[in-house]
Structure formats: C-alpha cells, structure tokens
Amino acid sequence: MLSKKTTFGINGEIIIPGDKSISHRSVIIPSLANGVSEISNLLMSDDVIHTINAFKLMGVKIEEVKNKLIIHGLGLNSLKKPNKEIYLGNSGTGARLLTGLLSSQNFSSLLTGDKSLSSRPMKRIIDPLTNMNAKFDTTNNKLPLKIIGSELKKYNHIIKIPSAQIKSGLILACLNTKGKSTILENHITRDHTEIMLGYFGADIEIEKNSSTKKILINGKKELIGKNIEVPSDLSSAAFLIVAALINSNSEIKLKNININPTRNGILTALELMGANIKLENTRKLNNENIADIIVKSSILSGCELSESMAELMIDEYPILAIAASFAKSPSIFRGLGELKVKESNRLELIQLNLERSGVDCKINGDDLYIDPTKVSDIKNNKIKTNFDHRIAMAFSILASKKGDLLIEDSNSISTSFPKFKEIFNNAGGNLIET
Ligand code: S3P
C-alpha cells in the first residue's frame, strides 16, 4: 500500500469500529454463560473472527443477525471437544485467554497460529497455570500448543509479568475451578475481563490499594447471558487522532470511544505534548467508560514518559512515535521492553522505519529516543512491517504528513481495523493500493 501526503487535513465525524480487547471478551464470556447474549458493534476483524470460529468449533451456536452477533451460551463446563485444531491467526489475546480457559475443560485441544503468533512467548501463561495442575504438551513453550484439559486446583497467583492477557487467561481458568482463587497484580493492566465478568454475574471481587490489586474468584458459579454494546476502540482511534494533530486544517470528532482508565495513557501522553483534545459526553456503557473525542491540529512538544506509562498504553507507542516525530522538541519513552514481544519486535521496527523516513531515533536498552529537530529526507521509502498491523497503520499516518511511503504487507491491518483505509481516506487521507 502506498501512503501519500494529505492536502486538506483530516476532518469530519468518524465512526471507529468496536474495541478489539472487549470484542474478544464479548465472544468468550457470553459463550460460557447460560442463555442468549446479543452483541452489537462487535469488531469483525481477523483476530476476533478467529475467536468466534474457535467457539463455534466447540459447539457454541453463534449467528450474525442484522449486524449483531447472537451467542447461545453453553454454560461454564459444557464446551465440546473441537474436532480439529483451533487456529488463532495473529491473535495473542486469543492464544493467552483460550489457553487459560481450555486448561480447565474436560477435553484436550490444540492451539495453532500464524508465523508471528507461533513465535510469541506462551511460558508466561503456561507457568502460572501449571501451578493449578494444568497440563500441556509443548516443545518450546510456543504454539502449536496442546492443552490437556483437566480439573484444576485453586491457587493464589502473584502476577510476575504485568499483562492483561496473562491475568485474563488465569481468571478464565479460575472461573471453572472449585473454590476461591486469587490473583495479585502489582502493576496496572487493562481490566475488561473483570468488568465484563461482574456484569455477567460471576462471583468476582476486587480489592485495591494504592499499589496492588487483588482479584478473588469463587469458581463454578454459572454466568447469566447479557447483551453487550461494544464501545469503539481507542487504540484504533489513536491513528486518526494523531493524523488530525499533525496535519494542519484538521478537526475530527470520534464518538463512543472507550476511555477505560487502565487503557487511556495515549490521551494523557498527547495532552502532555500540547495536543488539542477534548472529551465530551463522558458516560458508562456496560460498565465501561466512554466519551466522544474532539481533536484539532496542534503544535506538539516532545515529552518524557516513564515506564509506568507503558502499562497504560503499550499498543499505542508506534503511533505516539509518529506524533513525536513532528513535535518541536525531542521525546524519550522509557521502559518499552514488552514492545519487543508484540505482533513483531515493535521497538526495533519503529526505530528502523523512522530512520528510513529520515527521523532521528535511537534505542537504548528498553528506552526510545526521538529527535524531530534532526530530520532529513526519506532515505528508503519501504516500510518494513513484519506483518504487524499497528506498524503498518502508524507509518501510513507518518506519510500523510511527510510524503510517499510504501507500506509492505499492509493486509495485516485487517487483524484489528479492516476498514482503516476507507475510514482514513474518507476523512482526507491518501492511501492507495499498489
Ligand atoms: C490485550 C492486552 C495487551 C495488549 C493486547 C491486547 C488484551 O497485551 O497489548 O493488544 O486484550 O488483553 P498484554 O496484556 O500482554 O500486555
């Protein structure tokens, strides 16, 4: 895909598709509930479709009726043994959450994924599940992963690597395990699983103090089907937000965006850089915080972000790096180690592609330095994405300001935002299929 400069800015009222994290959970949790759940604004991206297919394979009746997904849940312990492998494509969320869930079922299953997912670490979820007596067959702690379903024992977990995927996989295992299990977190991770389980009537309690959060789950309590309206995805909105900020003559309004406080670091970071962003109409939707977001072209300054910000916005560093590339002063983003084990090594690809685009950028350990005062012309217009959707979208936005960039393997964008090209072009973007 070729991404070119935009001429008249990014404008209009833009509808962003449903949140990816909440969409996965909006398939998984209703499938485990008793009764029917109707899901609207579900993100129909490749990752979520793989999760839907997984539950269909395990006997859950899932129908698409008039833009809604109707899920006929089977209850906590009635999934059927799939008659073939469960293929999860590119989805780390699908892989970690299903590993937890399937380890407590009374059948064995095999999880597989694409090249990127098959290289991502699974030990982080396998190890804590093993403490509950979960059994796996794996040669290198990666996919393909055979999960030997069995009755698990309750456990008091302490999360070592801050990750909502690990936490959520464990919660799903504890849900189908007799007795009270606990999960202790010392860092903030997104809490969509806890919020949705509370809404579906799970026996789940949260104890919070200033530095830790304890989740108490009393297993084997059946869930009750509920309707869900999935809020729009802040992570997808972030590409349009930065496009509007860096291109002059821009003003956009993004409606119903999820601003869950465990996820909204990108807004804090951009405001720190001087972005003109306003939130309107803040309210709750199925216990999630949402708002309409208004963004105008802005002169940005660089900023320094500590490691603790990474917990609140890990998926947004590729697009934040693009914002930083057009600021009037340098930025330092610290503690980005987890970026190395996402859909690609994002830290390395941000640095490589910014350098190709003529932006001065360095990595020091887990820290990223961007100096927009030292810019040159594009050195190599090929953007290497390693099939990573967020790298592809972030550099499309960079080109909207700077000029022609050829985004390699841009079909990866359908992982999270299949209508990105159409939506961005309708707002004034200039993306061309090559
Ligand atoms: C996700 C959690 C995050 C995030 C991913 C989605 C989720 O991963 O990067 O895109 O839906 O739980 P980690 O929890 O491993 O950081």
Nearest CA to ligand 1 atom 13: 163
74 contacts 31 by C-beta, under 8 angstroms: yes
239 contacts 431 by C-beta, under 8 angstroms: no
Nearest CA to ligand 1 atom 5: 93
Q: How high is the pLDDT of residue 172?
A: 98
Average pLDDT value over all residues in the chain: 97
Q: Is the pLDDT of residue 116 over 90?
A: yes
| pLDDT single digits (tens) 261-282 | 999 999 999 999 999 999 999 9
The enclosing H or E element of 99 equals helix 92-103
Determine if ligand 1 sits within 6 Å of the CB of residue 21. Answer: yes
Q: Is the pLDDT of residue 315 over 90?
A: yes
Catalytic residue among 315, 360, 367, 409: 315
Cα separation, 14 vs 17, in Å, equals: 10
Q: Is the pLDDT of residue 210 over 90?
A: no
Determine if ligand 1 sits within 6 Å of the CB of residue 190. Answer: yes
Q: How high is the pLDDT of residue 15?
A: 97
3-state SS class at 420: helix
Q: Based on C-alpha coordinates, what's the Rg of the chain?
A: 21
Q: Which residue, among 308, 73, 101, has the nearest Cα to 188 in the 3D structure? A: 308
Q: What percent of the chain has pLDDT over 90?
A: 98
Q: Which of 190, 194, 264 to mutate to test the pocket of ligand 1 (most atoms within 8 A of CB)?
A: 190
- pLDDT-derived band of residue 113, with 50, 70 and 90 as boundaries? very high
Cα separation, 384 vs 359, in Å, equals: 15
Q: Is the pLDDT of residue 375 over 90?
A: no
Mean pLDDT of 81-110: 98
Phi-psi region of 240 (alpha: psi -120 to 50; beta: other; left: phi over 0): alpha
- Which atom of ligand 1 has the smallest separation from the CA of 164? 14
Q: How far is the CA of 91 from the centre of ligand 1 (A)?
A: 10
- Which atom of ligand 1 has the smallest separation from the CA of 168? 12
Mean pLDDT of 37-50: 98
Q: How high is the pLDDT of residue 393?
A: 98
Q: How high is the pLDDT of residue 65?
A: 96
| pLDDT single digits (tens) 131-162 | 999 999 998 999 999 999 999 999 999 999 99
Phi-psi region of 335 (alpha: psi -120 to 50; beta: other; left: phi over 0): left
Q: Which of 22, 165, 288 to mutate to test the pocket of ligand 1 (most atoms within 8 A of CB)?
A: 165
Q: How high is the pLDDT of residue 342?
A: 98
Q: Is the pLDDT of residue 343 over 90?
A: yes
Q: How high is the pLDDT of residue 184?
A: 98
pTM: 0.98
Mean pLDDT of 177-186: 98
Q: How far is the CA of 378 from the centre of ligand 1 (A)?
A: 32
205 contacts 14 by C-beta, under 8 angstroms: no
Give the domains, in start order, of the chain with CATH numbers: 2-18+231-432 (3.65.10.10), 20-229 (3.65.10.10)
Determine if ligand 1 sits within 6 Å of the CB of residue 168. Answer: yes
11 contacts 250 by C-beta, under 8 angstroms: yes
Determine if ligand 1 sits within 6 Å of the CB of residue 315. Answer: yes
Paired sense of beta strands 68-74 and 61-65, if any: antiparallel
Under DSSP, the state recorded for 82 is P
Q: Is 47 a catalytic residue?
A: no
| pLDDT single digits (tens) 383-400 | 999 999 999 999 999 999
